[in-house]
Amino acid sequence: MKVVIIFILISSSLFAQNPDSIFIQSIYKLALSRGKAYEDLRSLCKDIGPRLSGSSEAAMSVQWGKKRLELNGFENVVLQEVKVPHWERGTKESGWINSSKGLQKINILALGGSIGTNGLLEAEVVEFKSLVELQKADKTKVKGKIVFINQPMDEQFVNTFKAYGGCYSIRGEGAIEAGKLGAVGVIIRSVALPIDNHPHTGYMHYLDSVPKIPSAAISTSDSEELSKLLKVEKVRFSMELDCRVFPDEQSYNVIAEIKGSEKPNEIITVGGHLDSWDVGEGAHDDGAGIVHSMEALRILKELNYKPKHTLRVVFFMNEENGNKGGIAYAKWSKEKGENHIAAIESDRGGFTPRGFDCDGSFEQIEMLKTMGKKLNEYDLFHFEKGFAGVDIGPLKKSFEKVMLIGFAPDSQRYFDFHHAETDVFESVNKRELELGCAAISSLLYLIDQKM
């Protein structure tokens, strides 16, 4: 591709120059030419690293967040207390496939919340193609064995979150269903799209009424291999997990705002979550959401925008394994007598923006679609009813009429990195990240103007 795109150049001069359009253009120009999000993300990923709730890194990330918000000159920077779970992976984490081909050591990641194996755990493997198949299984087939749930994400969905929705429960519920049937452990196929050697972790939970068994993820590639072996022979699996639960820790949401000039008690929140899983650097999940949110407000501030409503940025703690931060924030705001009119969450990665989803009334979705038209020229066309986010979800209980909005970037690469050691700063593209900041900042502006 070597020749100038003459027609594109011509068509670029046709922007409608009304005040909204002029202001949004200035947001985009600032984000793309003097943006700070990429350097902020580098710092969060490299100066802090992965930051699972309850870890020292999570505590450091709270300090990091407070300092960054103060340096940006926002008002009312506060730490809001949140009690969070504290689970640690430990140092021993090994898995072996034991077949007629001999022992094969493979990558394995305990699922967050799992108990350890208390030494080496070894048993025959029994495979299920889905959680439903496991639920229907006969106890005699499962008892004393390690259950292997090999349910792939359905690659035929264009939106990868649909595929995620269709199978992420093997991670959360696998140990319960296998435990009910007397299994001694469970390994799941990583909830991921590419066939590679990286296991993906994530939250799992137990029921008090069901025996607790260790639970881990293996890579998609090893899942394919293990499944092939199981077609022709009995296979045993060995694993050692040293993970354990510690007492809850004191942690914090980190909050700052630009006070509204006309309706300061009406709040528009934008946020992502500060905690991450303990592998990789939490770059897309959800470092991107943190810097999106901070930068969206910083841009408005740098452009000297004086909002009518109070614009608030929240770095939520503990989205990944408890949502304690989201719950605490909604409660706190309600108790303060505030009125939340809207909230935007970014928690689907730092990819090229496609638009926003709205968890709200018919009228709110229509309002979003109308605002969305002003963003078409920035290649944003997706403005639909949809899920908004985990952290802002509890606001709905406190504020019946709040408009909840989820930032929707392109979803194709998210499940390459999600909860895996590959989710590092280098997996985020600078321009894609900056366009996300511009999109969110523009929508904040439009909501503040139109509501």
> Do 243 and 116 contact (CB within 8 A), yes or no?
yes
* Residue 158 interacts with a second copy (CB under 8 A): yes or no: yes
* Residue 369 interacts with a second copy (CB under 8 A): yes or no: no
**Shortest approach of a second copy to residue 165 CB, angstroms?**
4
List the one residue from 97, 330, 390, 405 that touches a second copy (CB under 8 A).
390
> Do 66 and 292 contact (CB within 8 A), yes or no?
no
**Shortest approach of a second copy to residue 387 CB, angstroms?**
4
Q: 24-63: which residues touch a second copy (CB under 8 A)?
A: 28-29, 32-33
The 10 Å Cβ neighbour count of residue 29 is: 14
* Residue 189 interacts with a second copy (CB under 8 A): yes or no: no
List the one residue from 435, 437, 444, 447 that touches a second copy (CB under 8 A).
435
**Shortest approach of a second copy to residue 191 CB, angstroms?**
10
* Residue 203 interacts with a second copy (CB under 8 A): yes or no: yes
* Residue 12 interacts with a second copy (CB under 8 A): yes or no: yes
> Do 239 and 185 contact (CB within 8 A), yes or no?
yes
Stretch that binds a second copy, among 6-14, 84-92, 181-189, 232-240 (CB under 8 A): 6-14
x/- map, 395-434, a second copy, by CB under 8 A: ---------------x-xxx-x-x----------xxxx--
**Shortest approach of a second copy to residue 81 CB, angstroms?**
23
* Residue 384 interacts with a second copy (CB under 8 A): yes or no: yes
> Do 179 and 401 contact (CB within 8 A), yes or no?
no
**Shortest approach of a second copy to residue 258 CB, angstroms?**
25
x/- map, 252-291, a second copy, by CB under 8 A: ---------------------------------xx-----
Q: In whole angstroms, how far apart are CA 295 and each of 41, 94, 434?
A: 11, 40, 9
Count of residues that bind a second copy according to CB under 8 A: 65
- Residue 326, φ and ψ in degrees, nearest 5: -60, -40
260 vs 349 by CB, closer to a second copy: 349
Contacts of 418 (CB under 8 A, 6+ apart): 191, 192, 200, 284, 285, 349
* Residue 381 interacts with a second copy (CB under 8 A): yes or no: yes
* Residue 357 interacts with a second copy (CB under 8 A): yes or no: yes
**Shortest approach of a second copy to residue 178 CB, angstroms?**
20
8 vs 232 by CB, closer to a second copy: 8
Place of tokens 């350097």: 39
d(CA 449, CA 312): 15
Asked if 319 is an active-site residue, the reply is yes
> Do 404 and 343 contact (CB within 8 A), yes or no?
yes
* Residue 129 interacts with a second copy (CB under 8 A): yes or no: no
User: Which entry of 93, 257, 319, 345 is annotated as an active-site residue?
Assistant: 319
Name the residues annotated as catalytic. 319
In the complex, which residues of this chain contact a second copy (CB under 8 A)?
1-9, 11-12, 28-29, 32-33, 155-162, 164-166, 168-169, 193-194, 202-203, 285-286, 319-320, 347-349, 352, 354, 357, 359, 376, 378-379, 381-382, 384-387, 389-390, 410, 412-414, 416, 418, 429-432, 435
